[in-house]
Homo-oligomer: A and B are copies of this chain.
Amino acid sequence: MAAVILPTIDAEVPAGGLSIGAVSEATGLSIDTLRYYEKAGLLLDPAPRDPGGRRRYGHDDLDWIAGLIMLRETGMSIADVRRMAELSRVPDTEAERLVVLEAHRERVLAELEHTRAHLTALEKKISAYTAVIALTADHDDDPAS
């Protein structure tokens, strides 16, 4: 399970596309999750099927999934990703999509800031504990104790 970080997935797509198992491998999403996302309308379209009815993901599908992962990993809800997908199915909505992405970016920045602030508190607490322990250790290190 390769951890996907950037909006490209490092898997060459053979002619005929990738199986759901291969996509799961490449993205780190479970097979069940991939099916769930499809059913939930998070993909632009259901993945194309081969004659036997199995999913065969192409290049475009992977690109979309990479973007989807980017949104989910930055905390966008399933419902909001679905809205983004719905919007992306409508032609000439680039401006609207941009608005959504920028609003999301703002939320992500705010959340990072929020977490960082609490992290500072955590580090203060760690310092306090370190100080207390240093004192105790002094005591214990006393060869006469």
Contact = CB atoms under 8 A, between A and B. Distances in A.
B101 A129 contact: yes
Interface stretch (A14-22, A28-36, A42-50, A113-121): A113-121
A102 B130 CA distance: 10
A120 B70 CA distance: 9
A9 B109 CA distance: 25
Interface residues of A, number: 40
Interface in A101-130: 101-102, 104-105, 108-109, 111-112, 114-126, 129-130
Given A105-B126, A126-B101, A6 B121 contact: yes
B114 A126 contact: no
Contacts of A82: none
A98 B6 contact: no
B115 A6 contact: no
Contacts of A129: 94, 97-98, 101
A5 interface: yes
Interface in A33-71: 67, 69-71
A136 interface: yes
Nearest to A119: B108
Nearest to A129: B98
8 contacts: A5-B118, A6-B124, A74-B118, A75-B115, A94-B129, A94-B136, A95-B133, A108-B119
